[in-house]
Structure formats: C-alpha cells, structure tokens
Amino acid sequence: MAELVEYSLVVIASTLFVTGSVAVYGSFTSFESGLSLHAAFGLVAGLASRAAESGSANATVALPASTVACQAGVLSMTVGNASLEERLPLTCGFVVGVPPGVHVLTFTDDSSQLTLSVT
C-alpha cells in the first residue's frame, strides 16, 4: 500500500512539473516573439527615417513573415496578430508582404513619396 501512495505522489509531482514547464515555455515564446517584432520594427523604422533624411537607405536584415505598410505617413509592421506603428514626417503609400528570411530592404524617398522594395 505504501508503494502505491509513493507512486501516486511521484506521478502527481511529475504532472505538475510538466504542466509548469509548458506554461513557462509558452510565456517565453510569447515574450520572445514580441521582442523579435520590436527589434525588426526598430530596424525598419530606422531605415525609413534615414531614407527621409538622405533620399535612400538599405540594409540586409533577417525578418519574420510580416507585412510592412505605410499609409498617410504611418509606418506599420505586422507579424501574426501583433502590430507596431510609427508616424513619419513624409508621404507614403505601400503595403509589402515579407516572407521569413534574410532580405535587402531598400527605402527610397524621391521627395514626393517614400517607397520600399524587398529583395
């Protein structure tokens, strides 16, 4: 009888440990994807600002599957259900779907409108 109680306690403790580990892992992956979005958007917004100042800017960056858009001076980046945006002091009107991977982003400001090309 004592072995049965001991076995039951081990099974319960193991189940609680696994459940807690899954909860911690889920929280971490959510935090990491948010951090990744903020980092990627910081790079994209920085490039756009640099293009506004100098006429063009490009960089090779690793990006998750995302959508980069700029409408009426508001630059936004959406990854899954999360989105970030920043107001830019210029005219723009584009929506670009970016597959996951390493890409060359080129922002060009031809004094009338900001454009983005992804290769």
What are the b/e assignments for 81-118, b being 16+ CB within 10 Å? eeebebebebebeeeeebeeeebebbbebeeeebbbee
**93, pLDDT greater than 70:** yes
What pLDDT band is residue 22 in, cutting at 50, 70 and 90? low
Write the DSSP assignment of 27-62 as a string of letters: HHHHHHHHHHHHHHHHHHHHHHHHHHHHSEEEEEEE
Residue that wins the pLDDT comparison between 36 and 26: 36
Q: Residue 106 has what pLDDT?
A: 93
- What letter does residue 65 receive in the DSSP assignment? S
Q: How far is CA 16 from the centre of its chain?
A: 32
**28, pLDDT greater than 60:** no
Q: What is the mean pLDDT of residues 52-67?
A: 89
**10, pLDDT greater than 80:** no
**70, pLDDT greater than 90:** yes
d(CA 107, CA 46): 10
